[in-house]
Amino acid sequence: SKGIYKFKYLILQAIQNVFQYTSIFEKMRFKDTDFEGGFVTGEAPEFPIVIEENFAFYNVNLNDGLMTGIFLDQKEVRKKLRDQFASNNKVLNLFSYTGAFSVISAPIAEQTTSVDLANRSRSLTEENFGLNSIDPKPQYIYVMDTFDFYSYAERHQLLYDTIVIDPPSFARNKKKTFSVMKDYDKLIDGALNILAPQGTLLLCTNNSAYSLKSFKNTVKKTLEDADVDYDIVEVMGLPKDFKTHPHYKPSKYLKAIFVQVK
C-alpha cells in the first residue's frame, strides 16, 4: 500500500537481515508514476518457479501482476480439504484459478472439476496437475462462468460430493456484476442443486469488509431457506504466520466454512 511503501528500504533491510533469500520481488497495490514494482534485488529467476506445500507442488510466477499462481493464505484450508473431504469424492472447484484446490484433492479424489472464467486457467491448471504427476483423465476443466456452469451441470445431471467456492470479492462478466457480499446466497443455492446427498460445501471469502459473523449468517440463512439439514463442521481463517492486528478486525480477512449436509 502507499502508506507502507514509505518504509520500503527499512523493510527491505530487515528482510535481508533475517532471511536467506535468492531474490526479492515487490507487489504494489497502488498506482504511482515513479514506481512500477517487480524485481527488487538478488538473482532474477526464470518463471515459473515451483514451490512445495503439504507435499504438493505448484507453479509460481512473481512477475505477472498481483496474483502469483497460488494463494498461500489458503494453505491450511487446502490441507483440511485433502485430509477430510476429498477422499474418493467428486470434487468441484469453482473460481478455480490455477486449480490449487483441485491439485490437492486429485491424488485421492475420484475426480476433480475445475471451473474458471479466465482462458489462462486451463493451461495453468493442467501444468499444476503435470507437476504432481496427476492422471489428467479424471480431471475436468471448464473455462466457464460459475452460474453458467450451474445450469450446464443441472442440465447434464452432474452431482458433486464436495463443492469448493472461493470467489473474488467482485467479478464482472459480460452480462452482470457479482459481489460476494450481495450474491453469496446465489452461489450457495446454485451449489445445492448439484450437491450429492450428504455432500460437503467449502465456502470461502477473502473480502475484509465481510465479517465472519455476517458471512456465517448468510450461509445459515441460505441453507435454512433452502430447507437443508446441515452442520457447520469447521470454520477456518488465516494461518498463524499471516499476522493480523487485534485492533483492526478487517486484517483477519479470510473466512472458510465447511458445511456438511445431512
The grid cell for 194 is 448439484
Q: Is 187 exposed, middle or buried (0-12, 13-18, 19+ CB in 10 A)?
A: buried
Residue in 170, 194, 167 with CA at minimum distance from that of residue 255: 167
Q: Residue 57 interacts with ligand SAH (CB under 6 A)?
A: no
Q: Residue 129 interacts with ligand SAH (CB under 6 A)?
A: no
Among 80, 114, 116, 142, binds ligand SAH (CB under 6 A): 116
Vertex 117, ends 103 and 64: CA angle to 5°? 70
Helix (H, G, I), strand (E, B) or coil at 66: coil
CB of 33 to ligand SAH, least distance (A): 28
Residue found under cell 452461489: 187
Query: Between residues 219 and 256, which has the closer beta carbon with respect to ligand SAH?
Result: 256
Q: Residue 97 interacts with ligand SAH (CB under 6 A)?
A: yes
In sequence order, the 6+-apart residues with CB closer than 8 A to the CB of 140 are 111, 112, 113, 114
The grid cell for 253 is 480477512
Among 85, 101, 150, 184, binds ligand SAH (CB under 6 A): 101
Among 106, 117, 191, 201, binds ligand SAH (CB under 6 A): 117
Tell me, residue by residue from 175 to 214, as one string, x for binding to ligand SAH by CB under 6 A and - for no binding. ---x------------------------------------
How many residues make contact with ligand SAH (CB under 6 A)? 20
Among 39, 57, 71, 152, binds ligand SAH (CB under 6 A): 71
Query: Between residues 110 and 148, which has the closer beta carbon with respect to ligand SAH?
Result: 148
Q: Which stretch binds ligand SAH (CB under 6 A): 4-12, 112-120, 188-196, 245-253?
A: 112-120
The grid cell for 190 is 446454485
Query: Between residues 174 and 245, which has the closer beta carbon with respect to ligand SAH?
Result: 174
Residue in 231, 110, 116, 103 with CA at minimum distance from that of residue 173: 116
Instruction: Say how far apart CA 114 and CA 99 lie, in whole Å.
Output: 6
> In the beta sheet, which residues pair with residue 25?
39
CB of 175 to ligand SAH, least distance (A): 10
Q: Which 8-state DSSP code applies to residue 46?
A: P
Residues contributing to the site for ligand SAH (CB under 6 A): 71, 74, 95-98, 100-101, 115-118, 121, 145-146, 166, 168, 171, 173, 178
